[in-house]
Structure 1
Amino acid sequence: MTESSSAQSGTAVVDDASRPMVRIENLHRSYGTGAAAVHALRGVSFEIPRGELVALKGRSGSGKTTLLNLVGGLDTPDEGRITVDGTDLSELGENGLLELRRDRIGFIFQSFGLIPILSAAENVGVPMRLRKADPREREERVALLLALVGLADHAAQRPGELSGGQQQRVAIARALANRPKLLIADEPTGQLDAETGLAVMELLRAVVRSENVTALVATHDPQLLGLADRVLELADGEIVEA
C-alpha cells in the first residue's frame, strides 16, 4: 500500500522524521538483591529527537553508563521500555539486538578500543568487514570517514603511532562506518587534555550535522556540555534536569 492510498483509507502514516530517535519510559535497573541491592536507575523517562546531540551529565555512580548500556542494547532493564529508531528493544532476541548494534548504533568509548595491530584505515573498516560489505564500498567509506575526522594523511598508521586525540578520531570514524542512526559515547574525552577534548567534542557535533545522526554523550566536563543541543542530568538514578 502506498503512502497516498494509506492516507485515503484513513490509516495514519508514521513520519520517521517526527518520531523520536530514542524514547525511554519508566526505566529501572538494579544490581544485587535485598539490602545490598544498588538501584542504578529509578524510573527514568525522556525522549531524544532525531538529529540532536544530547549530553548526559552526573557524578560517578549516578547511572550514566548503565543508561547508555541499556539504550545501546548491551543490557536489559528490570522494568520500563526502550525504543530506538521505532524499535522496541524488549521485542528483540539476541540476534535482533546484535543486528541493531551492528547496523543502527555506533559506540564510542573513553578507552578508544582500537585494535593495536591494525592501521587506522583497517580499524575503521572493521565494522564493514563484519557486515561483509563490498571491498570497494568499504575502501571508499573508510577514506571518506578518515577525511571527515581530519586523518586522511594517517590512514596507514597504527594506534600506537597516533596521539590520544587522533586515536579517538579514528574511533569516531569507526563508529560511523555502517552509517548508524544513533551514536552512543561514554566519556569520549575522559582520557584527553582539555584542548584536545574540546576539539573532539566539536568534531562530534559537526558529525551529527554532516552525517545526520543523533548522539547521546555522557560527559562531566562543563565546557563540553555547552556544545550539546540539550543536557540531561542524572542523580542517584533519576533525571533531575531535562
Structure 2
Amino acid sequence: MTEQPVGTVTTSTTAPMVAVTDLRHSFGSGERAVHALRGVSFSIGRGELTALKGRSGSGKTTLLNLVGGLDNPTGGSIALDGTELAGLDEEARLAMRRDRIGFVFQSFGLIPVLTAAENVGVPMRLRKVPSAQREERARTLLAMVGLADHADQRPGELSGGQQQRVAIARALANEPDLIIADEPTGQLDSETGRAIMQLLRAVVRSEGVTALVATHDPTLMELADRVIELQDGRIVEAAS
C-alpha cells in the first residue's frame, strides 16, 4: 500500500470532479503575510457531498473561493473535471463559473426586486436561455425544492429557509457539475438548517452533482459522504 502524503485526502473515483494539489494562499507579503492555506491536497469524486469544517480563520472560505475560481492561489493547483484553472484566461474562468459551478451563500444573495422564479432564472439569463425555457426550468426547480406555490413571491415575502431553498434552486439553474456552498445554514434555526442540509443531500443524489460545503452544522457532517477538517490552513482530519 502506497503511503499518502500528510494532509492528502484520497478518493476511490478514478476521475475526480475536484482535484486540489499542494494548494497555498497568502494575503500580504513578508513578515506580515497571512498564510490562509498551507499545502492543502484532496480530491472529490463526482456525485459526492463533502463537508468542510473548521473554526473561523481556518481557511474554509479561502479554499471555496479558490476552488470556485473566484480567486487565484499563491501556489499549487486546482483541476475541475480535469481542467486546470490556472490554464484558463479570465473569459474561460467566467464561463466555468457560469456554466459548471453553482454557488450558495450564507446570506442567500437573492435580488430583492425579483420574484423567486426570476431569481432562479438569473443564471440562465446570463447564458441567454430563451424565456419560455428559462421560466419552465425555474418553476421545475422551485417545485424540486418544495416552493412550487411561491414562485411569484419576492424574497422579502419568504422565510429564511425558503430563501435558501430559492438560492439552491438558482445554483442548479444551469445544471452545474459542482455546487459550492459557504455556511448555507448560518442564518437559519436548527430545525430549518436540518431541512436545508437534507435538501442538499437529496439534490446531490437526484441531480448527480458534486457538492463542497463549508459548515459548522453537525447535521451536514452526518449526511456528508466525507468530512474534511481544516485547521490553520492545513487538513487535520478527513473522514468518510
Q: Could you state the TM-score of these two structures normalised by the residue count of structure 1? A: 0.92
Task: Give the C-alpha shift of residue 33 in structure 1.
Answer: 1.3
Give identity over the alignment, percent.
Answer: 74
Q: Which of 182, 197, 209 is matched with 2:193 structurally?
A: 197
For 1:240 and 1:37, the matched residues in 2 are separated by 22
For 2:225 and 2:191, the matched residues in 1 are separated by 21
For 2:56 and 2:21, the matched residues in 1 are separated by 23
Partner SS state of residue 226, structure 1? helix
User: In the alignment, does 2:213 pair up with 1:217?
Assistant: yes
User: In the alignment, does 2:180 pair up with 1:184?
Assistant: yes
User: In the alignment, does 2:103 pair up with 1:126?
Assistant: no
What is the root-mean-square deviation of aligned Cα atoms in Å?
Answer: 0.8
Task: Give the C-alpha shift of residue 134 in structure 1.
Answer: 1.6
Q: Which amino acid aligns with 1:127?
A: P
Moved more, 220-229 or 59-68: 220-229
State how 1:5-20 maps to structure 2 within 5 Å. 18-20=14-16
Match of 2:78 in 1: 82
Superposed CA offset, 1:22-61 (max 9, x none): 0000000000112211100000000001000000000000
Match of 1:102 in 2: 98
Which structure is larger by alpha-carbon Rg, 1 or 2? Answer: 1
Match of 2:156 in 1: 160
User: In the alignment, does 2:38 pair up with 1:35?
Assistant: no
Task: Give the C-alpha shift of residue 224 in structure 1.
Answer: 2.4
Match of 2:229 in 1: 233
For 1:183 and 1:224, the matched residues in 2 are separated by 15
Kept in 1, the 8 Å contact 2:64–2:182? The answer is yes
Q: Could you state the TM-score of these two structures normalised by the residue count of structure 2? A: 0.93
For 1:224 and 1:178, the matched residues in 2 are separated by 24
Match of 1:58 in 2: 54
Task: Give the C-alpha shift of residue 137 in structure 1.
Answer: 1.4
Q: Which amino acid aligns with 1:167?
A: Q
Match of 1:135 in 2: 131
Structure 2 unmatched runs, 5+ = 1-12
Moved more, 159-168 or 77-86: 77-86
The number of equivalent residue pairs is 226
Kept in 1, the 8 Å contact 2:22–2:76? The answer is yes
For 1:140 and 1:222, the matched residues in 2 are separated by 35
Task: Give the C-alpha shift of residue 18 in structure 1.
Answer: 3.9
Moved more, 216-225 or 73-82: 216-225
Partner SS state of residue 178, structure 1? coil
